[in-house]
Structure formats: structure tokens, C-alpha cells
Structure 1
Amino acid sequence: MSNTSRVALVTGAGSGIGRACALALHAAGYHVVLAGRRLDALAQTIAQAGTGSAAQLLAVPTDVGDPASVKALFAKTEQAFGRLDLLFNNAGMGAPAVPMEELSYEQWKAVVDVNLTGPFLCTQAAIRLMKSQSPQGGRIINNGSISAYAPRPFSAPYTATKHAISGLTRSTALDCRRYNIACGQIDIGNAATDMTERMAAGVIQADGSTKVEPRMNVKHVADAVVHMASLPLDANVLFMTVMATNMPFVGRG
């Protein structure tokens, strides 16, 4: 099947990595469903795709942590395009960088809802659709994080949920073989987005110091996701790390 007839769904598509990947998939010929909390941000992503793109792009305001909202998202995807070939579970958030014992339950739960429950709900819905469509199958890509392996100070909710995403990736890859559904994960280090802007001023390190960290163009992440998506379903990138070469990851601490 050519990319011109493929359908991708990107969560967190209103900014940052999600926006860059949605635009790259669209440029590669995909119809793209853009999910995010704010319709105005999704509209800005569509505007950046250029004129004449409206028929290939669908914005659906979504709270990925809410089962009803996710159900509506996938129903609208099927109604608009008839199938789904790629889900990019990208939506994510962090909590304030404070000692673990000072985090509130509400702060913890908010991160878990978006970073873990959201991908689980979207994966469930994608599997159901991909199982039932003809031809059967598709691909799911999860946005993990190198923080799952080498956490930053004061990042317990983010680190815990991203570590859990690696387990979700492995379980999905195993359980979905029979349905011709591939699942992989991309772990990203310091892509230059609004979320990492603070790194230009310096972020806290494991030894308590504050240092400026190198960042990389977010385009490299988008290109990597398009590459993962372009593989035939009998091939899969299970885990990929894309990072700023000189960032403190190998040897962090």
C-alpha cells in the first residue's frame, strides 16, 4: 500500500515533537489525524502544512487520559478515513521538578493519566480498529524517553511512566503479532522544542550543578518516525534512540 492511501494518528500534535512528526508524515503522503487538548494549537499545525492540505488532515480535540474522549477520537478517524495504519503515541507531560516527597497526588496522577493511561487507551483503540480493517494490521510507535534509563533529578512521575511505556511497547509487540500489528518505540534526547527551551539557560544535573545542554533539530526526530513508519509490517524498529550527540546521557550522573 502506498503512503498516499495510508492513515496516521498523532497525539500531542499541537506542538513540539507531535507537530513536527504530523507535518513530516503529511509531507510523506499520509492522511493525518491530529489529536490534542487545544483545537487552536491543532489548527496552527494544519496551517503550517500549507494550502490544499485540509482534506488530508483532521483535527480532533482529545484528552488521551479520558476513555470517552479516546473512543470518540478513533470513531472520528474511522469515519473520516476508513482505517488506521499508524498510531504515534506522543502526548506527554512532566511534573514540577521538586523532591519526590513534595509531589502531590494530583500532580502524580496527571502525569500518569497522560503519559501511561493515554497511550494504553489509544493502543487499545488502535488494536481494535487495525484488527477489524482490511487489509488487517498497522503500526504503533510509542514516544518513550532516555529518562526511563537515566533519569534527571526530581523527575519521578515522568521517569516512572516512561519506564512503563517500554513495558507497554514490548507487550504490544508480542501480543499483536497475530494481527499483523507492529509496535516500536523512539527514545528522544533533547530535541529543540518549546519544552526543552529551558536547557539553553541551564538545567539541574545529577551532581546538583546547573549546566546548559546541547539540543538537536526536532526534524531529526520527525525523520526517524517517518523511517520507522515506512518499513513493511514484517520489519520493525523495536527501540530507537535519537539524541543530541553531546548531551549528558551516556555517563549521566
Structure 2
Amino acid sequence: MTTQGEGARTAVVTGAGSGIGRAVAVELAAAGWRLTLAGRRAAQLEETARLIAATPRAAEVAVVPTDVTDPDAVGALFASVRESRGSLGLLFNNAGTFGPAVPLEDLPAAEWRGVVDVNLTGAFLCAQAAFRLMKDQRPQGGRIINNGSVSAQVPRPGSVAYTATKHAVTGLTKSLSLDGRPYGIACGQIDIGNAATEMTARMQTGVPQADGTTKAEPVMDAADVARTVLHMAELPLEANVQFATVMATAMPYIGRG
């Protein structure tokens, strides 16, 4: 079996400066993974690195501020991984943005493009760079975990850009899974519903529902998501969680849309 040996226990986490990315980075580090933290805000990444340093099994951490929508910046990120780590075992492809919650007819084209650039193009650029590295390294192989969303399955009102991009991420996941087979590259997707982060703070105060009402929704601890990502990450490469949905138990998801 192709297990993740010590040399392969290197990971890149995008969007690592807050929320799900930070929670996953701390969980991976506690399990002994050597991390490269990527995101737009250097100060936030450094704070994640400080949290990791306080964990009992604190592993080596590199901070590389990166705009995932910039091909040159993404190329530099993975070049730094190749140079400093030598190999890559895992990409948690997590960076994303909601965009404005407005009626479809009022969404400016520039706002649409902004969400597409981060959620889809950024995810593609990072996956492409990770794929190249995993294909070229010896031994070949590694794992990519894309952060989808329950919006990759069903929409929320007023979320056309976010929902469309997250549906597209599912297509990206499937293509990566197929194209990665000859090289031992596994790709899975985690669809998350109502994890308690800065981005989802409004869930607890009230968000639009499919029936036109506004209601508060239950949330779950982001650490529960992180433990799921760790499980996916530490499977042998012969096994893959293709799709996982992790959500607050009582959120209005089943029957939504």
C-alpha cells in the first residue's frame, strides 16, 4: 500500500489565515504534518503559525502570502514548496469567498468575476501547480482535497456566483480524480455546511431561507471539519473519500432549494 511516509507528510493549506483553513492547518500540524500556509493576509497567516507553534506536536511551518488568482504568485508558492520541502503530500484547496448576497439581477459583472477568480480559477491554479509537483516528484503521487460547500449541491437565495463556482469545483474534483489516476494522485472534496467561522457569523443572527423568511441557523465547530479533513488526508493513496458532507446536524439543508 502507498502510505503517506514522513517524506510525504507535507501539506499546503490555502486560505490558512482564518476559519476552516486555520482550523485544518492546526489539526494537520498536531498530527505531525509539515505545513506551508498560503493566503492573502500575511498577519493572519503568522497568527495561524503562532497557534500551530503552541500545539504539542508542532511541525515545521512556512508562511507564503499568496493571491491564488495570480498565476505567477501560485507558481512561486509551489516552487517554494519544491525547494524547501522536496515533495508535496497534500493540498487542501480551501481559499474562497462568498461575494455579495444580492438578488441575481443586481449582481455587478465585476463582483461575479471576483468570486469566479477566487473560488474557481484560484482553485484550478493551485490544483494545477500541486498536480505538476506530485506528478514530477519521486515517488509520484499525493492528495488534493477541494473545499466545496453544501452550495455545491443546493443553492441559497441570492448566491448565484458562489453557488455556480462551488458546482464548478465539483467538476474540477472529478476531473482531477480521473486525470490523477495514472500518477497516484487522489482528489476528494469536502462539502461543509454552517461551520462557525468569521465568514458564517451571520448564520446565527439570521439568513434568507428558500421560503422567503429570514431565520437563524445552527452552526458546528470548525474543529469538526478539520478532523474530517485529517481523516481524508491520512488515508493510503489507494483509498479516497471522493465526496464528504459535514454539516451542522440541524441546519436546514435537507429539503433546501
TM-score with structure 1 setting the length? 0.97
Work out the CA distance in 1 between the residues paired with 2:112 and 2:72.
22
**Partner in structure 1 of residue 229 of structure 2:** 225
Could you give the per-residue CA deviations for residues 179-213 of structure 1, whole angstroms, max 9, x where no partner exists?
00000000000001111111111111111111110
Contact 2:4 / 2:89 at 8 angstroms: preserved in 1?
no
Question: In structure 2, what is the Cα distance between the partners aligned to 1:54 and 1:71?
Answer: 27
Percent of pairs with identical residues: 62
* 1:117 match: 121
Distance in 2, Cα, partners of 1:214 & 1:125: 37
C-alpha distance in 1 between matches for 2:167 and 2:129: 22
Distance apart, 1:105 and its partner CA: 1.2
Matches within 5 A, 1:1-253: 4-5=6-7, 6-51=9-54, 56-253=60-257
Q: Is the 8 A contact 2:30 2:59 kept in 1?
A: no
What secondary structure does 2:226 align onto? helix
Alpha-carbon shift at residue 80 of structure 1 (Å): 1.1
CA distance in 2 between counterparts of 1:4 and 1:13 reads 22
TM-score norm. by structure 2 comes to 0.95
Rounded Cα–Cα distance in structure 1 between residues aligned with 2:152 and 2:213: 21
SS in 2 for 1:49: helix
Deviation at 1:50, TM superposition (A): 2.4
Q: Say if 1:20 and 1:222, in contact at 8 Å, map to a contact too.
A: yes
* Partner-residue secondary structure (3-state), 1:176: helix
The alignment of Structure 1 onto Structure 2 pairs a total of residues equal to 253
Q: Which has the higher contact order (CA 8 A, sep 6+)?
A: 2
SS at match of 1:59: strand
Structure 1 consecutive aligned stretches of length 4 or more whose deviation exceeds 6 Å: 52-55
Alpha-carbon deviations, 1:119-171, whole Å to 9, x = none?
Answer: 11111111110011111100000000111221000000000000000000001
